[in-house]
Structure 1
Amino acid sequence: MVRPRAQAAHGRSFGAQAGVYDEVRPGYPDAALALALTGWDRQWSDLRVCDLGAGTGILSRRLHALGTELVAVDPDAVALERNPAPTVVGTAEDTGMEAESVDLVTVAQAWHWFDEPRAAAEVARVLKPGGRLLILINQLDVRVDWVLRLSRIMHAGDVYRPQYRPDPGAGLTLIDHRLVEFTTELSVDGIVDLARTRSYWLRSNEKTRARVESNLREYLSVEHPIPDTVHLPYMCLAYLLERH
């Protein structure tokens, strides 16, 4: 089990692979993003949004394109250098933002790095009454046998739990959820680069990294050979919560 302090440190290490991260990590499907507006008489251009744990800006770029008034918050200043939005160096537990200042908080690929009760309290603090929290989690689709094997070789840690629902408290109530299937096209080199952006790789020594790369290349050339590229199956798990 990773201790909370060590977990937070791992969550701040992605800036070291910022360029690779942007190249090989997938974006978030429009159908998953659209969950944020379900049953809400609001448009994207009406919203002031905090993209929390925003990192290099994979989601921030899409939110910016949708016309939101956006602030990107992350503890990793190196990762934020690539983010096109106005940025604040801060944590999920202490964003540095004003109380009741945003309509929507988005958290993409980062909720599991947070101290959930403290992060929930901070999200509730910065949201306006009736504001929303959208949690997005892209996972390799480990329901597919060969993808499950791939994830284990790269120590991805992607485990699909159909029953999971975030219940962080602090007045944040789950009001909807959605699973969106999609694929992203990668070469063998791209899949190896994908492994390089995972926390297991980032905290491993060179010997371990070499072993993971060798095992990946052998699997994709011998056990499950792929052509020049493959459409790698993913699922995006989207959870919508509301502040009451």
Structure 2
Amino acid sequence: MVRPRAQSAHGLSFGTQAAVYDQVRPGYPDAAVDLAGVEWKGLRVCDLGAGTGILSRSLIARGAEVTAVDPDEAALAHNPARSLRGTAEATGLPDASVDLVTVAQAWHWFDEKAAAREIVRILAPGGRLLILINQLDVRVDWVLRLSRIMHAGDVYRPRYRPEPGAGLVLSDQALVEFSTPVTLEGLIDLARTRSYWLRSNATTRARVEANLREYLTVEHPLEGETALPYMCLAYLLEVDSAGGDRDR
């Protein structure tokens, strides 16, 4: 388990690989984003833990008014949305100022209970929280092996449901399967965007790269471009109108 302080430090390291991150990390499938069930034109959205803007760009294209919140200024420099340096636990946004909070690929970095209280504070009445998690589809044998070699940490837990408290309750969910085209070099770059790589020394990085190259040329030869299977786990949460456990 990563301690909160170390977790925060790792979360600030993605900006160092911002350009590569945007090139090799997949976007979020429409079917997952549409789980929000909203009219996007003019919608006030806080993209929390927005990073370089992979989701922010999609939301802007849909017509939303997006504020990207992230503690990593290097990552935010690549984000086209209005940016605000802040955290999930202290966004810096006014009370009841957004209609939707999106969290893409960042929920595991947060103190969930503190983040939930902050999200409820900034949501306008009727507001929603959409959590999106892209994972390598480790149900596929060769992808599971790939994930383990790059120490991706992608583990599919079918029974997992976010339960952050503060009155936020799960109202809908979806699993959307998709794939992206990759090459061997693209998979090496993908490994370079993972937190394990970013916090490792040069010796460990060289070992991971050598293991990946051996796997993708000997055990599971990869020639040219292939489809890399992913799954997007989408969770929609709403504020319990009865108040629920807001203060927990």
TM-score by length of 2: 0.96
SS of equivalent to 1:49: strand
Structure 2 residue runs of 5 or longer lacking an equivalent are 241-248
Q: Give the one of 144, 147, 158 matched to 1:148.
A: 144
Which digits, 9 at most, give the CA deviation of each residue in 1:184-236, with x for residues without a partner?
A: 11110000000000000000000000000000011000000012111100000
Do residues 23 (structure 1) and 23 (structure 2) align? yes
SS in 2 for 1:119: helix
Alignment correspondent of 2:101: 105
Q: In the TM superposition, what is the alpha-carbon distance from 1:65 to its structure 2 partner?
A: 0.2
1:109-131 deviations in Å (ceiling 9; x for gaps): 00000000000000010001210
TM-aligned CA deviation for residue 91 of structure 1:
0.3
User: What does 1:198-209 correspond to in 2, within 5 Å?
Assistant: 198-209=194-205
SS in 2 for 1:67: coil
Which residue identity is paired with 2:145?
R
Which of 228, 235, 243 is 2:239 aligned to? 243
**What's the counterpart of residue 164 of structure 1?**
160
2:9 pairs with 1:9: yes
* Deviation of 1:46 (Å): 3.8
Aligned positions of 1:217-228 closer than 5 A: 217-228=213-224
Question: Structure 2: which amino acid aligns with 1:131?
Answer: G
Give, as a single letter, the amino acid of the residue that structure 1 aligns with 2:116.
A
Out of 79, 95, 113, the position equivalent to 2:75 is: 79
Q: How well do the aligned residues superpose, as a CA RMSD in angstroms?
A: 0.6
Match of 1:181 in 2: 177
- Return the letter of the residue paired with 1:57: G
- AA of the residue aligned to 1:168: P
Q: Kindly indicate whether residue 64 of structure 2 is the aligned counterpart of residue 68 of structure 1.
A: yes
d(CA) in 2 for partners of 1:162, 1:121: 26
| Structure 2 counterpart of 1:172, one-letter code | L
In the other structure, the counterpart of 1:49 is 45
Please tell me the residue identity of whatever aligns with 1:227. Answer: E
Work out the CA distance in 1 between the residues paired with 2:13 and 2:166: 28
2:190 alignment partner, one of 194, 206, 212: 194
After superposing on structure 2, the runs of 4+ consecutive aligned residues of structure 1 that deviate more than 2 Å are none
How many percent of aligned residue pairs carry the same amino acid?
Answer: 73
Q: Which SS does the other structure have where 2:238 is aligned?
A: strand
Q: Distance in 2 between matches of 1:5 and 1:129?
A: 33
Equivalent-residue separation in structure 2 for 1:128 and 1:43 (angstroms): 15
- 1:111-160 Cα deviation digits (max 9, x unpaired): 00000000000001000121000000000000000000000000000000
Q: Secondary structure at the match of 1:44?
A: coil
Amino acid in the other structure paired with 1:43 = E
Shift of 1:74: 0.3
Take 1:7 and 1:87, find their aligned partners in 2: how far apart are those partners? 22
User: Which residue identity lines up with residue 176 of structure 2 in the other structure?
Assistant: V
How far apart, in 2, do the equivalents of 1:66 and 1:21 lie? 22
- State the 1:9 CA deviation: 1.1
Structure 1 partner of 2:244 = none
Q: What letter corresponds to residue 4 of structure 1 in structure 2? A: P
Q: Provide the TM-score with structure 1 as the length reference.
A: 0.97
